[in-house]
Structure 1
Amino acid sequence: MGSTLWQKKNRWSLLCSIAASMPQKGRTIALSSSTGVRGGRGETTFEMAERDGQLRVFIVAGEVSGDSIAARLMISLRRLSPFPVHFAGVGGQFMGRAGLNSLFPLEDIAVMGMLELVPHIRKLRRRLHETVEASVLFQPHVIVTVDSKGFSFRLHRKIREKFSGHEEARPTQIHFVAPSFWAWKGGKKRLLNLPSILDHMLCILPFEEQVIRECGLEATFVGHPVMEDDLELKLEPKPHKWEGKGGQRRVFVHAWAFLWSIYISSSSSSSSSSYFAGVVMDVTIVIHFSLVGAPVVTLLPGSRLQEVKRMLPIFMETLELLKTHCPELATIIITAPNNDVKDHINGIIKRCPLPIITIPGESLSEKYDAFKVSRAALCTSGTASVELHLARLPCVVAYRAHVLTELLIKYKTKLKFISLSNILLETDIIPEVLFRKCTPENLSVVLREVMFDSSGRERQINSAEKLFKIISPPENLPRYLVPAHLGAAFVPRCPSMNAAMAVLYSARKHCRGF
């Protein structure tokens, strides 16, 4: 009871801080009868911010991949906006670093699946209500949701209901990452409902833009967010550097566990080097892969706790089977920036006899350094497979869900593949082991082929260039000319910059019936 009261007080304090932090200028919104012309276009986000002398953005991400996308968007908006930018909303660690004080933990709404949602419905409804109330109190010029279409579209619908009859006071409503309408039977039909709750859709695949426009909703292709990794890696300071000394390849990584005999250099001069199996440590490890001769497999078991609980045990059993053919096998696990996921993975590692270290997924440089030392990767479906393709690391995509969810997916999908690379390239360039076939026995066979079959490895590596030409940001933004006052602030061919430009110059559409 005490904890519940504390949580309620904490949320109320946060809501009050949202209101208190807003400058007085432009804070009062009169919900009077609309005098605007229905069916027309209202002010752009930029015009509203110019009028109030500040830009207020309410931004929501419901999962880790969306958290990263939203954080980059926040940074780009600050760079492009000539006015002070204030953020409120829901996000995770990335958005927190970008300056967001999240209304509640992102993990509370990071739930995927169909039947898997049932145990969480009450919490999701409560969080949705809190988010709606906080957004109205914040009085934003624009509301941006990122991915997580279930929660996001319900939020936008509630916002429209809140401003029914007061259209001139409604913020611009934008969603970033279009729903995968192309993957589902009848998916395009469902797009027809979106113009009634959204003003603009930001697309990460080029073919989505035209289809969404045909359904009556403004849309802009901004480029796939993973293409921004390359830009960020060039700018990110890298304390964990590759060195080529004496023919050795070595990488400095922060790890929790050290389970095999390699050289350990303490990160602190006062702490002594030691070898402990299964003991949690915080040390800097220098891995001499050329001396150890250990092929490395990187695991990416997912960003949501429920999928990690389902997939990681399968992955671990797969490695145990693989180790009979490759005794010197070493393993890296990329942990998503989700505290529940990290705790769960660390708990498993302590009990696991395999040599494993973990790399924090929130560090882009460390993650891609791990890809560089790896022979192959095993990942769940999602953004991870595209990241691995960017890194030219051959991989296997695996996925399991609740048995009834799997049956629904098989019945409703119209695609042959599940990974984005295969879908866009229209071929099974990346092996997929899915649903009931996703067993340790099957995975170990396929993963061994990916590790040691040179022709299959070359096919994956050589196909990367073709994929990236498809998902690269457009050369220019024909519908959003870069204003002269932005000058060097705008970075061309950068997805988050393109998205920020679209957010600033989107206009809310006055719809009849609201």
Structure 2
Amino acid sequence: MTGGERMFKIAFVVGEESGDLLGSRLMASLNRVLPGRITYCGLGGERMEEQGLKSLFDISDIAVMGLTAVLARLPLIVKRVYQTVDAVIEANPDVLVIIDSPDFTHNVAKRVRKRAPHIPVIGYVSPSVWAWRPGRAKKMSVYVDELLAILPFEPEVHRKLGGPRTHYVGHPLIERLEELRSSAGERPALTDGRKTLLLLPGSRGSEVDRLLKDFGQTLEVLDRSVPDLEILLPAVPRMEARIRAETAGWAVQPEIVTGNAAKHAAFRRAHAALAASGTVSLELAISGVPMAICYRLDWFYRRLKDINRIFPFASVSSMVLPNIILGRNVVPEFLDDEVCPEKLVPVLESLLADTQVRQEQVSAFSELDTIMRLPDGRSQSEAAAAVVMDVLTRGKAT
């Protein structure tokens, strides 16, 4: 580095591990572009600290989901919001990058914008304004200058809703095809021996609470029509003991596997899946695994759902990501009381056989590569870094 080269300071604010992964990859790309010329501050996890960020505190303090869990930790979360805002203001960075976890990160960004409007703000991962509370898009434009979207339809959504300028930078899953897609022999033909069903009740305790029992009852009925079925249940390490205990009495015992390598191996082997709604549906689609998706709303969102019948605010007809990306409903979804053996078993039977229903899903999933890949061949982190670099070179707002 020569004496005339400018140094840059970037503040990050993330709220959970998925944001830490995105942040670390973005930092790695930025470090390649500007080696030795960037200092980092703010809030991140272990991966971001490996790239040069010293985090204000452990992100586990704020990585909670569900109204009950948030209320229980609300005083600490509020304290952490103001602590983070003060630290960003004091650091006076060239740009603030907030990543996902909007309940926390956007509260920080709003307060930074009020107190230090000259600091540009980049949002990484759009809140689901296309599904819930679309009015958030326009509100975001007040305190987010550039938005990095990981779903290809989101730039147009924000344009229509009056949101911030939005750039599609690619989804991290599309860069992991070798982990998710089976090679020759990994996924046996449907006619070759046992069939494999993936069971994915969610990675959070609240999801497991609402779905695991129903999934067990569904398996018990399904076993009568599809005997000798192999059941694989990938569990995140923190939920493994609980899931083992709660499935111990099931009539049909799943094989519980943990760790990303085992999870991806299960995806490559599976013929079909029964899963909770969420990003896992996109993982399954990219893996080519036909699925049925389930979701039970907690008491708060159940009330909102009831209100929604009179005052609708949802803007899409599906909660399943592959359906939204494809623009048509190819994956069946089951909400609340529909999560029961009577509804699920016939669908799973059709997905575990060579049926038109199964073929339609598999065929539709093959379109995702074309839709989701970046046209210039850049990686997600490289595309995100390009937007950050553009903001850096423009300088702080005046």
TM-score (norm: length of structure 1):
0.65
Change (3 A) 1:321 1:119: farther
2:259 maps to 360
Cα distance, 1:220 vs structure 2: 1.5
SS at match of 2:151: coil
Q: Which runs of 5+ in 1 are unaligned?
A: 1-46, 235-240, 251-287, 477-491
Q: Closer, same or farther in 2 for the Cα pair 1:199/1:451, shift >3 Å?
A: same
**Which structure exhibits the higher relative contact order, with contacts defined as CA atoms closer than 8 Å and separated by 6 or more residues?**
1
Gaps of 5+ in 2: none
Task: Give how far 1:101 is off.
Answer: 5.4
SS of 1:452's partner is: coil
User: Cα RMSD (Å) of the superposition?
Assistant: 3.4
Change in CA separation of 1:368 and 1:62 when aligned onto 2, cut-off 3 Å: same
Query: Quick check: 1:209 aligned with 2:162?
Result: no
State the AA in 2 paired with 1:222: V
**Corresponding residue number in structure 2 for 1:376:** 272
* 1:345 and 2:243 matched: yes
Q: Is the 8 A contact 1:115 1:402 kept in 2?
A: no
Per mean C-alpha deviation after superposition, the further-off stretch among 142-151 and 323-332 is 323-332
Q: Which residue of structure 1 lines up, in the alignment, with residue 351 of structure 2? A: 450
Q: Secondary structure at the match of 2:352?
A: helix
- Give how far 1:174 is off: 0.9
Deviating beyond 6 angstroms after TM superposition, the runs of 4 or more aligned structure 1 residues are 231-234
Output one character per residue of 1:60-79: Cα deviation in whole Å (capped at 9) or x when no partner.
Answer: 33344434333332332233
Q: CA deviation at 1:432?
A: 0.5
CA 1:334–1:399 in 2, change beyond 3 Å: closer, same or farther? same
Q: Does 1:470 align with 2:371?
A: yes
Equivalent of residue 233 in structure 2, options 317, 333, 339: 333
**Cα displacement (A) at 1:395:** 1.0
Cα deviation digits, residues 449-469 of structure 1 (max 9, x gap): 222252111111110132332
Whether the 8 Å CA contact 1:223–1:472 is kept in 2: the answer is yes
The alpha-carbon distance between structure 1 residues 333 and 223, as it changes in their structure 2 partners (threshold 3 A), is same
Contact kept in structure 2, 1:429 and 1:459, CA below 8 Å: yes
Counterpart of 2:83 in structure 1: which amino acid? E
User: Is the 8 Å Cα contact of residues 11 and 41 (structure 2) preserved in structure 1?
Assistant: yes
Following superposition, the deviation at residue 175 of structure 1 comes to 0.6
> Aligned in 2, Cα 1:438/1:95: closer, same or farther, shift over 3 Å?
farther
Pairing 1:81–2:34 present: yes
- How is 1:279-298 mapped onto 2 (pairs within 5 angstroms)? 293-298=193-198
CA distance in 1, matches of 2:232, 2:30: 35
SS in 1 for 2:234: strand
When residues 428 and 453 of structure 1 are mapped into structure 2, their CA distance, relative to the original with a 3 A threshold, is farther
Return the match for 2:126 from 178, 185, 188.
178
* Aligned partners of 1:297 and 1:332 also within 8 Å: yes
Identity of aligned residues (%): 33
CA contact (8 A) 1:173 1:508 kept: no
> Which of 172, 177, 181 pairs up with 1:225?
172
The answer as to whether partners of 2:139 and 2:163 remain within 8 angstroms in 1 is no
Aligned 8 A contact 2:66 2:206 in 1: no
Query: Any idea what the Cα deviations from partners look like across 1:445-491, whole Å, max 9, x if unmatched?
Result: 32222222521111111101323322222x24xxxxxxxxxxxxxxx
What does residue range 4-15 of structure 1 map to in structure 2 within 5 Å? Answer: none
Structure-1 residue corresponding to 2:338 = 437
Check conservation: 1:65, 1:383, Cα contact below 8 A. Answer: no
| Count, aligned residues | 385
Matched-pair contact (CA < 8 Å) for 1:145–1:152 = yes
**Cα distance in structure 1, aligned partners of 2:382 and 2:276:** 29
- Counterpart of 1:205 in 2: which secondary structure? coil
SS of 1:78's equivalent? helix
The answer to whether 1:132 aligns with 2:28 is no
Query: How does 1:163-202 map onto structure 2 within 5 Å?
Result: 163=116, 167=118, 170=119, 172-184=120-132, 187=134, 189-202=135-148
Q: CA 1:418–1:211 in 2, change beyond 3 Å: closer, same or farther?
A: closer
What per-residue deviation string (whole Å, max 9, x for no partner) do you get for residues 351-406 of structure 1? 65614121313x4xx43321121121122212111111111111111111213413
Letter of the aligned partner of 1:78 in structure 2?
A: N
Give deviations 1:71-96, integer Å, cap 9, x for gaps. 33233223333335444444456556
**Residue in structure 1 matched with residue 217 of structure 2 by the alignment:** 317
Partner SS for 2:202: coil
Q: Which amino acid aligns with 1:81?
A: L
- Which whole-Å CA distance do the structure 2 matches of 1:328 and 1:95 have between them? 45
Distance, in Å, in 2 between the alignment partners of 1:107 and 1:375 is 35
Conserved 8 A contact 1:422-1:429: yes
The residue type equivalent to 1:445 in the other structure is P
Specify whether residues 203 and 455 from structure 1 end up closer, same or farther in structure 2 by C-alpha distance, changes over 3 A only.
same
Counterpart secondary structure, 1:294: coil
**Which of 138-147 and 208-217 deviates more?**
208-217
Question: For 1:17-36, what aligned pairs fall within 5 Å after superposition?
Answer: none
Superposition pairs for residues 386-405 of structure 1, below 5 Å? 386-405=282-301
Decide whether aligned partners of structure 1 residues 303 and 99 sit closer, same or farther in structure 2, where only a CA change above 3 A counts.
farther
Q: 1:216 to 1:300 in 2, by over 3 A?
A: closer
Residues 100/162 of structure 1: CA separation in 2 closer, same or farther (3 Å cut): same
